[in-house]
Amino acid sequence: YAFLLFQDESSVQALIDACIQEDGKLYLCVSSPTIKDKPVQIRPWNLNDSDFVMDGSQPLDPRKTIFVGGVPRPLRAVELAMIMDRLYGGVCYAGIDTDPELKYPKGAGRVAFSNQQSYIAAISARFVQLQHGEIDKRVSLSAAPYKPHECVCVCLVTSGFLPSFWGLGQVEVKPYVLDDQLCDECQGTRCGGKFAPFFCANVTCLQYYCEYCWAAIHSRAGREFHKPLVKEGGDRPRHISFRWN
């Protein structure tokens, strides 16, 4: 497979117009020194498919939002929303994370729920099997506005070949970790008003903590093995080791 980056958006449309459509898929015949007119599949990304609001009457709550890693790149936000709503219910928004420059999917997404029950059910699952069309992938659970004249990326895939990130596998689900939250225990009084660096994804906690409160709360029996989540590049949350003083 390969990625094509065009200087003008009109070139992407010209490529699509030159394709042959079959079963809702786009193909272009390409020749090489050894093969003539081999159909290769073209996978353009519509920027409008990056976000989908399923229930506009519900406010988006970042604390009921999950990070979904390993999302198959052809999957649209509306399809991710429908799958998660079918599994857990209560979905009000889904978004596909795209490269800030190329605007092509990065293989991750976000899903916001309208109620705590659905949110907890999703993060408790951790890994989810996505089944949609040709995609059968086990995933782990933890807006791209239109801008004219920007470069647009198109993915080119040879017919009959499915790259690993579109094939069988798993996606990860984690809580969506925010970087502008005060400690839920002390409201910043024990850390000079600084934002809380840690989030506990265990369903018995689901709170943000400063270092002082994390140590105090997680020294209690039954909580000493909880691992803090921190936010890293690309909005991807990760666990870190925490050492007691």
The string of DSSP letters for 165-190 reads GGSS--EEEEE---SS---TTTTTTT
CA 83 to chain centre: 13
Mean pLDDT in residue range 163-188 = 77
Segment 84-107, tens digit of pLDDT: 999 999 999 999 999 888 888 998
Q: What is the pLDDT of residue 152?
A: 43
What local confidence, expressed as pLDDT, does residue 142 receive?
Answer: 57
Between 4 and 118, the more confident residue is 118
Structure-token pair, residue 136? 């059968």
Cα 172 from chain centroid? 9
Instruction: State the average pLDDT over residues 219-226.
Output: 92
Question: Can you list the pairs that 203-210 forms with residues at least 24 positions away whose Cβ atoms lie under 8 Å?
Answer: 203/120, 203/123, 203/124, 206/63, 206/120, 206/175, 208/178, 208/181, 208/182, 208/183, 208/184, 209/183, 209/184, 209/185, 210/183, 210/185, 210/186
- Residue 25's pLDDT is 87
Residues 146-170 have a mean pLDDT of 40
Domains of the chain in sequence order: 2-44 (3.30.70.330), 48-148+163-175 (3.30.70.330), 177-245 (4.10.640.40)
d(CA 236, CA 243): 22
Of 148-152, 154-158, 162-166, 181-185, give the range with the top mean pLDDT. 181-185
Residue-wise pLDDT for 10-21, tens only, equals: 888 899 999 999
Q: State the pLDDT at residue 188.
A: 94
